[in-house]
Amino acid sequence: MTATPVPRLPPILPGITGPADLRELPREQLAGLAEEIRGFLVDRVSRTGGHLGPNLGVVELTIALHRVFRSPVDRIVFDTGHQAYVHKILTGRQAGFDELRQAHGLSGYPSRAESDHDTAENSHASTALSYADGLARGFALRGQSHRRVVAVVGDGALTGGMCWEALNNLGADTAAPVIVVLNDNGRSYGPTGGGLAHHLTELRHAAGHRRGRPNLFHDLGLAYLGPVDGHDVPAVEQALRQAIRLNCPVVVHCVTRKGKGYGPAETDEADCLHAVGVVDPRTGRPAAPSPPTWTSVFAEEMVDIGRRRPDVVAVTAAMLRPTGLWGFSRAFPDRVFDVGIAEQHAVTSAAGLAMTGLHPVVAVYASFLNRAFDQLLMDVALHRLPVTFVLDRAGITGPDGPSHHGTWDLSLLAAVPGLRLAVPRDPTRLKDLLNIAIATEGGPTALRFPKASAGPDIPALHHVEGVDVLRTAPDARVLLIGLGPLAGACLEAADLLARRGIEATVVDPLWAAPINPHLSLLAAQHDLTVTVEDNIETGGFGTRFAHQSTSLPSRSRVRTVSLPHAFVPHGPRKALLAQAGLDAGSIVRTVLTCPESQGAAQRTAHGNGRSLRSVR
């Protein structure tokens, strides 16, 4: 007897073109919708890369949010924005996921340019509560108190100081009835640590006795609801509707599981596949082996340094693995301090460590150091403390977009008195410069490198007064100064120029701040100097070098090639560098547009006994 086939139900997700469709959906279909969304996420993100684990954990939570609140009249702010993929799916952007984080495609974070449903492009953590506080107060002043304000805050983001500054204000003003949805999955990248994490654990364990139980949020003046199972849509909806009725600042504590519903993420104890590249959707593992990266080279060298230098300690702001400190933490667990998403505290804590005779290494994304500039300036540099800052993701990062590109750090750090900033061009230079930085006493040092593959090594022909000379010719009239990894592009450009009869000297200054005075002497020996850096022009290496070289002979000119003074969109690193003029072909075009290069070509051609026209 043949079994009767079970009819397949039609998919639900294609019919969800916006929150209104979701609100019309019968409750019994919500579990099926959640399953479809998880399958959609795994399928799309495995092709493009992106934040997978965090979004798998907020599927039901986001469904409930959009069934209870009426976005965009009600404002929903996600903190951090990498957990907003489901929000994008439910607000009409399913088709865009085919080009997630690709050039001109869907952003990996909330984007006001994409949708009215996105309130703020907050990919830096711990900001949502402050946005929400201002939104609620603004709506009240403008007579729009009917508009609800919801902040979805991960427990990792809640380790940041800005959250507590905002909670301090929210709890004191019942006229700003912000609903704080605490997405508690026990993790940032890895497990969340600190006193707050312990408190949330106590609240979860005391769930059966929660009525009337005092807690930190209640003591700050906010109402508290929960804990609620964040994967139970009806339960979350009920808690959110109760929060609305309270009409006061309230925390809705939702317990979720990062990576929920996807086996590889649930079994990944490291970070639950927090952020992935292109992966095999069956395993969650990279589709192709990855070459060594700048981060991995730094990671290995830090362990070697730790063995030789017992005074070296490491500080990170919830980025133990992404910044390459995982190996150091395994080898020296007592010498690593993860302070949570709190860059300001990390830097000043490092200052305190240095005051005891230790040498702290603060590993942080370049764009995240912006948040702790005052602490670096006044708490470290003012006291001339030996703290080394290792800035990962410097320059163009690629698909993470404007908030993650490290385009400002070189300009900011160059303004810090007494700070030395190194920019390695290859793995060997990274190791050498890191050791020099850590051996430096009497002031801070910094090292910056990109999110990219590292190597191969680019050997120097010789080393002159602290400058590596990578290419030279007796009749070279053009000088190319390439910072760090862009030295490779300068060497390629020099080859292309040579085919046109223009010889160029290529040097790597190794240290971007302070500027080596010998570079001006080199520039004086050439008709044209072109500086090449992956940092904005304002306050950058090229601008400072041109200012420092005002005494050059009148025939010597300086041109700078740098990133635009703008927020660079997301896209492939190689393509974005080319658009900014930071590839070999663009450097050649920059040289050829300068009148000085024509004179250089004429002199080179005459010196070689041939005409410029004969060069092909």
Rounded Cα gap, residues 607 and 502, in angstroms: 11
CA-to-CA separations, 262 to 176, 286, 296, 526, in angstroms, rounded: 38, 16, 27, 60
Partners of 78 in beta bridges: 152
Helix axes 233-246, 59-68, angle to 10 degrees: 40
Handedness of CA 153, 154, 160, 161 (dihedral sign): positive
Residue 345 assigned ligand-binding role: no
Q: Where are the alpha helices (DSSP H) in 206-262?
A: 216-219, 233-246
Each residue of 185-208: b (16+ CB within 10 Å) or e?
bbbbbbebbeebbeebeebeeeee
Q: Any catalytic annotation for residue 343? A: yes
Please confirm, yes or no, whether 260 is among the known catalytic residues.
Answer: no
262 is in an annotated binding site: yes
Q: Which of 121, 237, 301, 343 is catalytic?
A: 343
**Count of other CB atoms within 10 angstroms of residue 283:** 11
**499, two tokens:** 């085919």
Backbone phi, then psi, for 279, in 5-degree steps? Answer: -130, 165
Q: Annotated binding residue at 124? A: yes
Residue 168 in marked binding region: no
Check if the beta carbon of residue 61 is closer than 8 Å to that of residue 230.
Answer: yes
Q: Which two three-digit tokens encode residue 258?
A: 């990062």
- Supply 188's token pair: 């940032």
Tokens 């393509």, located at residue: 575
Query: SS3 of 439, please?
Result: helix
CA distance linking residue 155 with residue 529, whole number of Å: 50
> CB burial class (10 A; 0-12, 13-18, 19+) of residue 135?
buried
Among residues 371, 451, 477, 559, the one annotated as catalytic is 371
Does 343 count as an annotated binding residue? Answer: yes
Tokens representing residue 548 in the block: 């420092």
Helix 427-439 and helix 294-308, axial crossing angle in degrees, nearest 10: 40
Residues 6+ apart with CB under 8 A from 157: 79, 80, 125, 126, 128, 163, 188, 341
183 is in an annotated binding site: no
State how far Cα 431 lies from the chain centre.
23
Count other Cβ atoms within 10 Å, centred on residue 382: 13
For the residues of 319-365, what is the DSSP string, one character each?
-TTTTT-HHHHHH-GGGEEE--S-HHHHHHHHHHHHHTT-EEEEEEE
The answer to whether residue 47 is catalytic is no
Catalytic entry in 44, 67, 75, 258: 258
Contact indicator for 437, 388 with CB cutoff of 8 Å: yes
**Residue ranges of the binding site:** 82, 123-125, 155-157, 185, 262, 343
**Residue ranges of the binding site for thiamine diphosphate:** 82, 123-125, 156-157, 185, 262, 343
Residues labelled as active-site residues = 258, 343, 371
**Residue ranges of the binding site for Mg(2+):** 155, 185
